[in-house]
Amino acid sequence: MHEALIKKHLENLRQLIAPSGLFRASSHQVGTGYDKAWLRDNVYEALAFEYANEWDTVARTYHALLDIFDKHIDKINWAVTNKPFESWQFIHARYHPDTLDEFWESWGNKQHDAVGAVLFKLADFEAKGHGMLRNKEDHKTVQALIDYICNVEYWHDSDSGMWEENEEVHASSIGAVVAALKKWQEVGGKVVSQESIDKGMESLYKLLPRESESKFVDLALVSLIYPYSIVDKDTALQIIENLEYHLERDKGLIRYKFDKYYNKNPDGYSEEAEWTFGLSWLAIVHEKLGNHQTALEYLEKAKNTVTPTGEVPELYYSQSEKPNENSPLGWAESMFIVALYEIKG
């Protein structure tokens, strides 16, 4: 039923793949800086090709991500045995899609959820029989990443989180990491500290259903349901209820109240930008939880975010038909494709 739509949006995503195999966040022509490659975005962008059974594309992406970590392995190994104390000493969140170099300007580079996301999917691929680890070096790199994220004490360490903003302890970051550690523990072959998992779960449920001290409701929380499946059903339903009540708008979900990014109001109040992938994400999690009719309704809302040129943009300005210039946004395209695959008409 959705074949033509899927084909079109996979093609949109293909346009974002650099020769290295990494995805850019958006078109290489945008002037917003979204021509770079983010760890997190690559995880979400590759999901569409996993659903499409295009495993060569997925493998190229994850081999490039592993190559990034290999390129910076001395820094990672240092942080395994020393406690990083400056932002630049942590694994960075974004890289040059061709050279795999870090970008050094101040950016809120400390994002534990991005490391958790890559680790989680690498373990997930092992469990599904589509292992991405090529050799002993890749196995050593994964162990170094596990040791790194535990050494920084992710369960109570402030980070900039999914939205790359103020450092605080984020439930979505803790959830990404603890899901990854649990997955690697299930898969085996790596040393994973049970204490690190226990502390992660304890911290996560102390915070929930909040995202952080400053944010009661945040779109990032939906990741705890999909892809991480790290919360129980009652908590998942509470998260969804809070998102729908507080954050849902016509063209997407706002990320959180008083979000200043692309806010139409100069004071940063009440005209928050509407993020398109929020609708696809809600469609996916409702389907996962057995709410098929609601999932269909959200998929229809997501279809209404596609521009006349057939792209899914990052966001729309508040209460408008005007998208921002980050179009197509790879992450939004991919979540739309996942929703199309998950929800059979």
| Per-domain residue ranges of the chain | 3-342
Which pLDDT does position 345 carry in this prediction? 59
Using the predicted structure, report yes or no on whether residue 105 has a pLDDT greater than 90. no
Which pLDDT does position 1 carry in this prediction? 60
Using the predicted structure, report yes or no on whether residue 104 has a pLDDT greater than 90. no
Q: DSSP characters for 141-195?
A: HHHHHHHHHHHTTTTT--B-TTTT-S-B--HHHHHHHHHHHHHHHHH-SS---HH
Where does the pLDDT of residue 232 fall: very low under 50, low under 70, confident under 90, or very high at 90 and above? very high
Is the pTM here over 0.85, yes or no? yes
Which pLDDT does position 268 carry in this prediction? 85
Mean pLDDT of 154-160: 97
Please name the CATH architecture into which domain 3-342 falls. Answer: Alpha/alpha barrel (1.50)
Which pLDDT does position 108 carry in this prediction? 84
Mean pLDDT of 302-328: 98
* 262/319 Cα distance (integer angstroms): 12
Where does the pLDDT of residue 335 fall: very low under 50, low under 70, confident under 90, or very high at 90 and above? very high
Between helix 39-51 and helix 330-342 the angle, nearest 10°, is 30
